[in-house]
Amino acid sequence: MLTFALRRLLMAVPTLLFISLVIFLLLELAPGDPVADMPLTIPPEVREKIRISLGLGEPMHVRYALWLYNLFVTEPSYWIDALFGTDLAQGSQRIISFQTRAPVFDTIAERMPQTLIVVGMGYVVGVLIALPIGIISAYRQYSVFDQIGTFISMVGFSVPTFVTGVMLIVVFSVWLGWFPSIYDTTLQVTDWPSFVKQMRQMVMPVFVLALYNAAQISRYMRASMLDNMTQDYVRTARAKGMSERVVILKHVLRNSMIPVVTVIALGVPGVFTGAIITENVFKVNGLGQQLLLSIQGNDAPMVLTISFIFAILIVLFNLIADLLYGLLDPRIRYD
């Protein structure tokens, strides 16, 4: 198990390097120029100086190596400095955004909480809805509940989040006026009324994401429960005279959770990347919205760093899913 984990971790390094290279080259090959948006009155020699000050004077491979060095050496040393008050970084150059001229990671740190709260909550709520629906659907297969549940999960799976989001805005913001359609990013939760306000503006984005995630997970949960329900050990448990509750919730559920847990783990990075759309529908100032803004603004360091964070999440959670599968199911041997 340990050797497997180590081998997978080692495998992840070239994968991540390859991904960062792909994104870097994509940005390089693009015709966009970060100084193109500046006023035309800037004389050419000053413009050239601005380009050099942005680090664009160096050849391609030097810039790529520099970015890697900054990401893995300079930035962590700044974090360690901030945590322990040491002086490892000694004022060296950080990764700077072209647009804001501020360190990329400062912006990411500002944006991360909104993404985590709204999008993370959406995922958690989705999982919490999906599990009971999947269990009941499987236990009462072909019942009315199952039919409706299957239909709703098909709808949630098929209808993209930007459609559900917009429909919710039409119904609950435009017609009924219950919830605000735009996420107020300046709101600070200090007392009870502001907390209620925060909850109200979170309802719709969380619901949209929850429906989408619940649709997929409940289908897996149902299929997995159905697979286990016909197994011999279930009949044995019933023959021993165990109550239906114990049979379903202890014996069947525990075994059915094995594949579902890995599916849940695999879905986590998708939550971050998929949330780009939801964040844009409700104007939540999270990471996804920042990524879109940076892509539109030709802000190469920001795009590269955020995309790379997404890639790390994907690789990391793939690894976690594999390890979880091995840990939960003793029949799986990795050696």
Partner 1 sequence: MTDLPDSLAAARPPRNQWWDVWDQFRSHKGALIGSVILALTLFSVLAGPWLWGVDPTFINIRMRDQPPSLAHPLGTDQLGRDMLARLFAGGQITIAVGMTAMALSILLGTLIGVLAGYFRRIDGPLMRLTDLFLALPLLPLLLLMVMLFREPLVGSFGPEGGIFALIVVAIGVTSWMQTARIVRGDVLALKEREFVLASRSIGTPARRMILRHILPNVMSPIMVSATLGVANAVITESALSFLGLGFPPDFPTWGRLLNDGLAYINLSPERVIWPAIALSALVLSINYIGDGLRDALDPRIRGR
State which residue, 74 or 298, has the beta carbon closest to partner 1.
298
Stretch that binds partner 1, among 18-26, 93-101, 197-205, 254-262 (CB under 8 A): 18-26
By CB under 8 A, the count of residues binding partner 1 is 45
CA distance 204 to 144: 28
**Residue among 41, 90, 158, 186 that touches partner 1 (CB under 8 A):** 158
Half-sphere exposure at residue 54, Cβ-oriented, CA atoms within 13 angstroms: 20
> Which of 54, 78, 74, 64 lies closest to 22 in space, CA to CA?
64
- Examine residue 315 and tell whether it contacts partner 1 (CB under 8 A): yes
Q: Could you give the string, one character per residue 165-194, with x where binding to partner 1 holds by CB under 8 A and - elsewhere?
A: -xx-xx---xx-----x-------------
State residue 96 phi and psi, 5-degree precision.
Answer: -110, 135
Residue 103, helix vs strand vs coil? strand
Q: Is 282 exposed, middle or buried (0-12, 13-18, 19+ CB in 10 A)?
A: buried
β-bridge mates for residue 96, sequence order: 103
State which residue, 66 or 292, has the beta carbon closest to partner 1.
292
- Examine residue 296 and tell whether it contacts partner 1 (CB under 8 A): yes
State which residue, 229 or 292, has the beta carbon closest to partner 1.
292
> Which of 152, 79, 78, 107 lies closest to 302 in space, CA to CA?
107
Stretch that binds partner 1, among 72-80, 107-115, 151-159, 247-255 (CB under 8 A): 151-159
- Examine residue 148 and tell whether it contacts partner 1 (CB under 8 A): no
Quick check: 207 and 216 in contact, CB under 8 A? no
- Examine residue 102 and tell whether it contacts partner 1 (CB under 8 A): no
Lookup: tokens for 11: 């495998």
Quick check: 222 and 134 in contact, CB under 8 A? yes
The alpha helices in the chain, defined as continuous H runs, are: 2-29, 44-53, 60-69, 75-84, 104-114, 120-139, 144-158, 161-168, 192-229, 232-239, 244-246, 253-282, 287-296, 300-328
- Examine residue 40 and tell whether it contacts partner 1 (CB under 8 A): no
**Residue among 89, 208, 314, 321 that touches partner 1 (CB under 8 A):** 314
- Examine residue 213 and tell whether it contacts partner 1 (CB under 8 A): no
State residue 102 phi and psi, 5-degree precision.
Answer: -115, 160
**Residue among 1, 6, 7, 32 that touches partner 1 (CB under 8 A):** 32
Q: How far is the CB of 26 from partner 1 (least distance, A)?
A: 6
- Examine residue 306 and tell whether it contacts partner 1 (CB under 8 A): yes
Q: Could you give the string, one character per residue 250-289, with x where binding to partner 1 holds by CB under 8 A and - elsewhere?
A: -------------------x---xx-xx--x---------
- Examine residue 162 and tell whether it contacts partner 1 (CB under 8 A): yes
Q: Which residues would be at the binding site for partner 1 (CB under 8 A)?
A: 15, 18-19, 22-23, 26-27, 29-32, 151, 154-155, 157-160, 162-163, 166-167, 169-170, 174-175, 181, 269, 273-274, 276-277, 280, 291-292, 295-296, 303, 306-307, 310-311, 314-315, 318
